[in-house]
A and B are shown apart, each in its own frame.
Chain A
Amino acid sequence: MLVSGAALLLACLAFGAYDVFALRQAIVHNLSILAQIAGSNSVSALLFNDPHEAEKTLSALKAAPNILSAHIYTTDGQPFAAYSRDRGGEAPTLPPIPAGQTEARWFQDGQIVLVRSIIFQGKPTGSVYIQSDLREINDRLKRYAGIAAIVLLTSLLAALLVSSIFQRAVAEPITHLAGIAGVVSRDKDYSVRATPTGSGDELATLIETFNEMLAQIQERDGALKKAHGELEQQVQAVARRAEELTRSNTELEQFAYVASHDLQEPLRMVASYTQLLAKRYKGRLDSDADEFIAYAVDGAHRMQLLIGDLLAYCRVGTKGEEPRETSSEAALEQALLNLQGAIQESGGVVTHDPLPTVIADGAQLVQLFQNVVGNAIKYRSAELPRVHVSANKNGGNEWIFSMRDNGLGIDPKYFEKIFVMFQRLHGREEFSGTGIGLTVCKKIAERHGGRMWVESEPGKGSTFYFALPEKR
Chain B
Amino acid sequence: MAINIGENGTPIEILLVEDSPGDVRLTQEALRDAKVQNTLHVASDGMEATSFLWRQGKHANAPRPDLVLLDLNLPKKGGREILEEIKLDPSLKSIPVVVLTTSTAEEDILRSYQLHANCYITKPVDLDQFLKVIKTIDNFWLAIVKLPSDPT
Binding site for B on A (CB under 8 A): 264-265, 267-269, 271-273, 275-276, 279, 304, 308
Would A269 and B127 count as touching, CB distance under 8 A? no
Q: Say if the beta carbon of B54 comes within 8 Å of chain A.
A: no
Would A265 and B20 count as touching, CB distance under 8 A? yes
For residues 120 through 140 of chain B, which have their beta carbon under 8 Å from a beta carbon of chain A? 123, 125-128, 130
Which residues from chain B contact A272 at a C-beta distance below 8 Å? 22, 26, 127, 130
Instruction: Name which of A264, A269, A272 has the most chain B CB atoms within 10 A of its CB.
Output: A272
Which residues from chain B contact A264 at a C-beta distance below 8 Å? 102, 125
Would B102 and A276 count as touching, CB distance under 8 A? no
Would A268 and B125 count as touching, CB distance under 8 A? yes
Binary contact readout B23-44 vs A (1 if CB under 8 angstroms, 0 otherwise):
1001001000000000000000
Would B127 and A279 count as touching, CB distance under 8 A? yes
Would A265 and B127 count as touching, CB distance under 8 A? no
Would A268 and B29 count as touching, CB distance under 8 A? no
B73 CB, nearest partner CB in chain A, Å: 9
For residues 31 through 64 of chain B, which have their beta carbon under 8 Å from a beta carbon of chain A? none
Would B29 and A276 count as touching, CB distance under 8 A? yes
Which residues from chain A contact B130 at a C-beta distance below 8 Å? 272
Closest chain A residue, CB of each to CB of B106: A319
CA A264 to CA B128, docked complex, whole Å:
17
Which residues from chain A contact B125 at a C-beta distance below 8 Å? 264, 267-268, 271, 304, 308
Which residues from chain B contact A276 at a C-beta distance below 8 Å? 26, 29, 127
Known: A265-B20, A269-B22. A275 touches B102 (CB 8 A): no
Would A265 and B126 count as touching, CB distance under 8 A? no
Binary contact readout B7-33 vs A (1 if CB under 8 angstroms, 0 otherwise):
000000000000010110010010000
Known: A264-B102, A265-B102, A276-B29. A271 touches B127 (CB 8 A): yes
Would A275 and B20 count as touching, CB distance under 8 A? no
Binding site for A on B (CB under 8 A): 20, 22-23, 26, 29, 102, 123, 125-128, 130
Which residues from chain B contact A265 at a C-beta distance below 8 Å? 20, 102
Would B102 and A268 count as touching, CB distance under 8 A? yes
Closest chain A residue, CB of each to CB of B102: A265
Is chain B's binding surface mostly helix, strand, loop or mixed?
A: helix
Known: A264-B125, A275-B127. A269 touches B29 (CB 8 A): no
CA A351 to CA B22, docked complex, whole Å:
49
CA A279 to CA B29, docked complex, whole Å:
12
Which residues from chain B contact A308 at a C-beta distance below 8 Å? 125
Which residues from chain A contact B123 at a C-beta distance below 8 Å? 268
Closest chain A residue, CB of each to CB of B23: A269
CA A268 to CA B20, docked complex, whole Å:
11
Would A271 and B126 count as touching, CB distance under 8 A? yes
CA A34 to CA B58, docked complex, whole Å:
173
Which residues from chain B contact A269 at a C-beta distance below 8 Å? 20, 22-23
CA A469 to CA B22, docked complex, whole Å:
49
Which residues from chain B contact A304 at a C-beta distance below 8 Å? 125
- Apart from A265-B102, A271-B125, A276-B26, what are 18 other A-B pairs with CB-CB below 8 Å? A264-B102, A264-B125, A265-B20, A267-B125, A268-B102, A268-B125, A269-B20, A269-B22, A272-B22, A272-B26, A272-B127, A272-B130, A273-B22, A275-B126, A275-B128, A276-B29, A279-B127, A304-B125
CA A304 to CA B29, docked complex, whole Å:
22
CA A170 to CA B18, docked complex, whole Å:
103
Closest chain B residue, CB of each to CB of A272: B127
Which residues from chain A contact B127 at a C-beta distance below 8 Å? 271-272, 275-276, 279
Could you jot down 9 A-B contacts, CB within 8 Å? A264-B102, A264-B125, A268-B123, A269-B20, A269-B23, A271-B125, A271-B127, A272-B127, A273-B22
Closest chain A residue, CB of each to CB of B73: A265
CA A308 to CA B29, docked complex, whole Å:
26
CA A285 to CA B125, docked complex, whole Å:
26
CA A185 to CA B127, docked complex, whole Å:
84
Closest chain A residue, CB of each to CB of B130: A272
A458 CB, nearest partner CB in chain B, Å: 36
Which residues from chain A contact B126 at a C-beta distance below 8 Å? 271, 275
CA A304 to CA B123, docked complex, whole Å:
14
A261 CB, nearest partner CB in chain B, Å: 8
CA A265 to CA B122, docked complex, whole Å:
12
CA A243 to CA B66, docked complex, whole Å:
55
Closest chain A residue, CB of each to CB of B124: A268
CA A264 to CA B102, docked complex, whole Å:
9
CA A279 to CA B30, docked complex, whole Å:
13
B108 CB, nearest partner CB in chain A, Å: 13
Instruction: Name which of B23, B126, B127 has the most chain A CB atoms within 10 A of its CB.
Output: B127
CA A286 to CA B57, docked complex, whole Å:
49
Closest chain B residue, CB of each to CB of A262: B102
Which residues from chain A contact B20 at a C-beta distance below 8 Å? 265, 269
CA A308 to CA B124, docked complex, whole Å:
13
Which residues from chain A contact B22 at a C-beta distance below 8 Å? 269, 272-273
CA A265 to CA B71, docked complex, whole Å:
13
Which residues from chain B contact A271 at a C-beta distance below 8 Å? 125-127
Q: Lowest 4 A-B CB distances belong to which pairs?
A: A275-B127, A269-B22, A272-B127, A268-B125
B133 CB, nearest partner CB in chain A, Å: 12
CA A264 to CA B126, docked complex, whole Å:
11
Which residues from chain A contact B26 at a C-beta distance below 8 Å? 272, 276
B129 CB, nearest partner CB in chain A, Å: 10
CA A273 to CA B130, docked complex, whole Å:
12
